[in-house]
Structure 1
Amino acid sequence: MNVEATGTTRRGRGARKAARQTRDITMLPALKRRLPLTEPMDQEQIERIDAASMHILENVGVQFRDPIALEDWKRAGAKVVDEMVYLDRHLVKELISTIPSSFTYHARNPANNLPFGHDHSIFVPMTGAPYLRDLEDKRRNPTLDDLANFHKLSHMLPAIHSSAHHIVEPYDHPISHRHLRITYSSMKHSDKTFMGMTTSPKNAEDVMEMCAILFGDDFIDTHPVVTGNCNGNSPLVWDETMLGAMRAFAKRNQPVLCSPFVLGGANTPASTAATVAQLNAEALSALAYTQVVRKGAPAIYGHYLSTVSMKSGAPMAGTPEISLMNFMIGQMARHYDIPWRTSNTLGGAKTFDAQAGYESAMTLNAVLMAGANYIWHSAGWNEAGMHCSMAKFVVDAEMCAMGYRMAEGIDWSDFDEAIAAVSDVGPGGHYLGHPHTLEKFQKAFFMPEMFDNNSIEQWQAEGSVEINERALTRARDLLNEYQEPMLDPAKNEELLDYIARREREIPAAEALNQDY
């Protein structure tokens, strides 16, 4: 199915066909990291963080604002006083020991299945933006069509491993129905793995039912196909909405990110090490609870990590302490042998400018060197998550591809051939026409498509086009070349029937508001 994106100029079918024949959109396999990790803590410091976290769990406690969770904890042997749960360190470690250290994500296209955990990493786009910067670089409210365009881009960008879920909020649909349309868009426009909405327990259950339609009820009970995210309320609170959604995923054996929402210095101590100790306690309490719900269910040590400007109170991105905390959190997750999630190319800039690039590159390098497994918010994030930028989305994806190449480590496969070329060329020669160069030049060195490396004269002759404009052109081209990976017609009909039934059952009480 060929699609014309809003704001594009129409091109002939022949041009689109030629572009499809030359552009390789095959998804990269899960990244298998081969570089040494950055691990600033020694074993004594790891144990110090662990001991501080266990002290918090045992003596300060974690508030579980959910009657079902409180009863579950009582049955598991925890000390429960009102809504406070005090977790013995031995109980916590016994529970988290049953979390799988690795598993495989299954996509509707088996070629896009992903090994996950240990030294494997995947890149996942940003989600949750209430605004977008569109194909004309206009900041506005998103629609379901805009969300579909981001899912299509996710499908076509090789370094992106998932279509995520609500990359942008579709404001042209009632809030109470959005999770259904968002999930269907993730499934329909890409055959990669995706994320599932956790905005309420019932919404999470709807996602599980839609996954059961797509993959089969028995299949999802034994195969991870979707990822949920549950955010804690730092400091030390898990609420009824998140816990109910967590149960919906864990009961069906689907992985959930257990993610404290950290604003360093605001809802944690103004200390890098102490922030990690509190975050670690919060994450462990939720990870342990997933195993109370279902022993052996996959779960991922998560966090959303930012520091707060002490001048304005605004969250910051790309700061040194964020990198240090990512290094430390990676060490703690490996200490417990649990896969972990981080956030990637975050930017606080209001446009796709130099600030956005520097912040994003700082974070990308840090999370790769920290050894993160689930690298979320890897494309499009800007303005502290308030908007997703079409231009930044495609450039971030190329940055992930470059990070992927770096983290794969050194390729020694043709070392002897290349050394032999030195003897062939000798002093004062050049390698441009050598058979080894002609055979290897396309893959020997990464050649960015979004970055201009021509001379200034050539750049000026071609119109002095800067990266934002180049990226928007690339996004338009990709959307014009997009071909839908068609759903099985019977499953598609069943999904649409389920959505229609649930939309009849769920009151569309929330009025549409185009001025958010």
Structure 2
Amino acid sequence: VYFGPGTLPIKVRDLETGEIRSGTLKDCEDFARLIDALEYIHFFKGMITPSDVNKKIPEIYMVNAAYNNTTKQISSTALSLHAAMDLYRMGVAVAGGEKAFRERPMIIINMLAVSPLQWGKVNLDAIMALANVGCPIIVGSEPQGGTTGPAPLAGQVLINVAETLAGITLAQLVKPNAPVMWGNVGSLSDMRSGLFASGAVELGLINAAMNQIAKYYRIPTYSTGGMSDAKISDAQAGVEKSLQALTVALAGGNYIHDAAGLMESCLLCSYEQYVIDNEMLGMVARVLEGIRVTPETLSFEQIKEIGPRGNFMGLRHTLDNIRPEHYLPGLFDRSTYDTWKAKGGKDIREVAREKARKILATHQVESLPSEVKEELGAIVKNAEETYGK
């Protein structure tokens, strides 16, 4: 299972002031560098829509910023056929050529249906073009129960299957065995307001069902799980995010996006929330590992040696098995109240902000070769001068 961040929020909680503001390209660069250092966030996806760039080609700027600030795999949407092909060319440049890209794709491009039961021409054209060159495609659907999809969850799943299979079938007709992932971003509309209920517990159930169906077709999945409607990093955010992420992961999701950083129905992202969610995803990953049952872990000889009223703390066996068996949080506090108070009594948001600041101040990302940077820059410039006008 691989976890990644969210789609395209437009607002960010400023790391220094805590105020909400529009996202910038600098945020995109900083977010990419931040997740490069976070162990349980495995790929880059959108993260912020910069307000200070050409509005016609934001994905080109975002992906260029990502390639220059993280070595992790990239996922992106594309607003046009031209952009989709330029994103592919950027991936080829970073990989070192088309052959190298096919062996290790540096980008996966996301194409979604328009629920209910429609595919837009731009996305259909992009699916065909990307399939033809062998670029991996996420083909998915995003019905919202009660508005663009049926209210019952079973109906949600059915319409998602129909829309997704239509796109996947098209890709396979263009090029048999074209690399695709089964995407799902389906959730609910809160019928009291009509708003997207990104933190709905049912989102986890819908994605779990889609994972099971995709596995029947033997297609890898690109799921959604880890979102929240909360406006700050509070208990609501923790409950909604962890329930979704754990549900989808236990159902066998392969790529789980929107798993970190997102708040306020995907409109807002937060530096500290990425750090908190990384800790939560580490716990989810530990749950997925389960309980290893071997002669070593059953510990029969150690139990026999220690006997009644003994203590296992001094055994070498204990030392050898702590890290393989126990998840040790680096952010969450397990000390007593008095110890916590003596250390400053900081809540989790403050601790996460400090960690985010430290990462951004110290973390260095391996630089791309100069010729690759030049090629990426040329692609950006061409986009600005052609379809970006």
- For Structure 1 versus Structure 2, the TM-score category normalised by the shorter chain is over 0.9
2:54 counterpart residue number: 174
**Gap runs ≥5 in structure 1:** 1-120, 509-516
Structure 1 CA distance, aligned partners of 2:379 and 2:300? Answer: 62
> Does 1:207 pair with 2:55?
no
Structure 1 CA distance, aligned partners of 2:22 and 2:104? Answer: 36
> Does 1:329 pair with 2:210?
yes
The Cα shift of 1:425 comes to 2.0
Other structure's SS at 2:366 match: coil
**Gap runs ≥5 in structure 2:** none
The answer to whether the 8 A contact 2:71-2:365 is kept is: no
Structure 1 CA distance, aligned partners of 2:132 and 2:225? Answer: 29
Other structure's SS at 2:364 match: coil
Structure 2 CA distance, aligned partners of 1:289 and 1:347? Answer: 33
AA at the equivalent of 1:472: R
Superposition pairs for residues 382-401 of structure 1, below 5 Å? 382-401=263-282
Other structure's SS at 2:333 match: coil
1:307 counterpart residue number: 188
Aligned length: 387
The Cα shift of 1:211 comes to 1.9
The Cα shift of 1:308 comes to 1.8
Other structure's SS at 2:256 match: strand
The answer to whether the 8 A contact 1:227-1:254 is kept is: yes
Tell me: CA distance 1:358–1:417, structure 2 relative to 1, closer, same or farther (3 Å): closer
Structure 1 CA distance, aligned partners of 2:172 and 2:260? Answer: 32
Other structure's SS at 1:163 match: strand
Tell me: CA distance 1:454–1:301, structure 2 relative to 1, closer, same or farther (3 Å): same
Structure 1 CA distance, aligned partners of 2:368 and 2:239? Answer: 39
AA at the equivalent of 1:192: K
Q: TM-score, normalised by structure 1?
A: 0.72
Deviations 1:64-122 (A, max 9, x none): xxxxxxxxxxxxxxxxxxxxxxxxxxxxxxxxxxxxxxxxxxxxxxxxxxxxxxxxx21
- Shift >6 Å, 4+ stretches: none
Indicate the larger mover: 126-135 or 418-427. Answer: 418-427
Indicate the larger mover: 315-324 or 149-158. Answer: 315-324
The answer to whether the 8 A contact 1:183-1:197 is kept is: no
Other structure's SS at 1:372 match: coil
> Does 1:130 pair with 2:10?
yes
> Does 1:184 pair with 2:46?
no
Structure 2 CA distance, aligned partners of 1:426 and 1:183? Answer: 59
The Cα shift of 1:422 comes to 1.6
Structure 2 CA distance, aligned partners of 1:170 and 1:253? Answer: 29
1:252 counterpart residue number: 133
Structure 2 CA distance, aligned partners of 1:347 and 1:204? Answer: 29
Tell me: CA distance 1:388–1:437, structure 2 relative to 1, closer, same or farther (3 Å): same
The Cα shift of 1:185 comes to 1.4
Deviations 1:263-285 (A, max 9, x none): 11111122111221111111111
Quote the sequence identity (%). Answer: 30
The Cα shift of 1:318 comes to 4.3
Structure 2 CA distance, aligned partners of 1:507 and 1:451? Answer: 45
The Cα shift of 1:172 comes to 1.1
The Cα shift of 1:413 comes to 5.1
Structure 1 CA distance, aligned partners of 2:76 and 2:186? Answer: 21
1:369 counterpart residue number: 250
AA at the equivalent of 2:100: F
The Cα shift of 1:436 comes to 1.5
Tell me: CA distance 1:314–1:435, structure 2 relative to 1, closer, same or farther (3 Å): same
Structure 1 CA distance, aligned partners of 2:130 and 2:273? Answer: 31
Structure 2 CA distance, aligned partners of 1:269 and 1:177? Answer: 33
Deviations 1:163-217 (A, max 9, x none): 22x2101111111343322121121111121113411111111111222222203
The Cα shift of 1:507 comes to 4.7
AA at the equivalent of 1:478: I
Structure 2 CA distance, aligned partners of 1:418 and 1:485? Answer: 43
AA at the equivalent of 2:25: L
Structure 1 CA distance, aligned partners of 2:289 and 2:254? Answer: 14
1:139 counterpart residue number: 20
2:339 counterpart residue number: 458
The Cα shift of 1:256 comes to 1.3
The Cα shift of 1:503 comes to 2.5
Superposition pairs for residues 140-159 of structure 1, below 5 Å? 140-159=21-40
1:269 counterpart residue number: 150
Other structure's SS at 2:109 match: strand
> Does 1:434 pair with 2:336?
no
1:96 counterpart residue number: none
Superposition pairs for residues 285-296 of structure 1, below 5 Å? 285-296=166-177
Q: TM-score, normalised by structure 2?
A: 0.94
AA at the equivalent of 1:142: G
For the aligned residue pairs, the C-alpha RMSD in angstroms reads 1.8
Structure 2 CA distance, aligned partners of 1:473 and 1:503? Answer: 37
Tell me: CA distance 1:416–1:125, structure 2 relative to 1, closer, same or farther (3 Å): closer
Tell me: CA distance 1:414–1:155, structure 2 relative to 1, closer, same or farther (3 Å): farther
The answer to whether the 8 A contact 2:201-2:244 is kept is: no
Tell me: CA distance 1:177–1:309, structure 2 relative to 1, closer, same or farther (3 Å): closer
The answer to whether the 8 A contact 2:75-2:108 is kept is: yes
The answer to whether the 8 A contact 1:197-1:207 is kept is: no
The answer to whether the 8 A contact 2:207-2:224 is kept is: no
Structure 2 CA distance, aligned partners of 1:222 and 1:457? Answer: 54
Superposition pairs for residues 72-151 of structure 1, below 5 Å? 121-136=1-16, 137-151=18-32
Structure index of larger Rg: 1
Structure 1 CA distance, aligned partners of 2:324 and 2:15? Answer: 31
Deviations 1:464-513 (A, max 9, x none): 211111111111111122112111222222222332343333454xxxxx
The Cα shift of 1:310 comes to 2.0
AA at the equivalent of 1:257: I
Structure 1 CA distance, aligned partners of 2:36 and 2:110? Answer: 21
Indicate the larger mover: 315-324 or 259-268. Answer: 315-324
The answer to whether the 8 A contact 1:356-1:382 is kept is: yes
The Cα shift of 1:293 comes to 2.1
Structure 2 CA distance, aligned partners of 1:360 and 1:416? Answer: 32
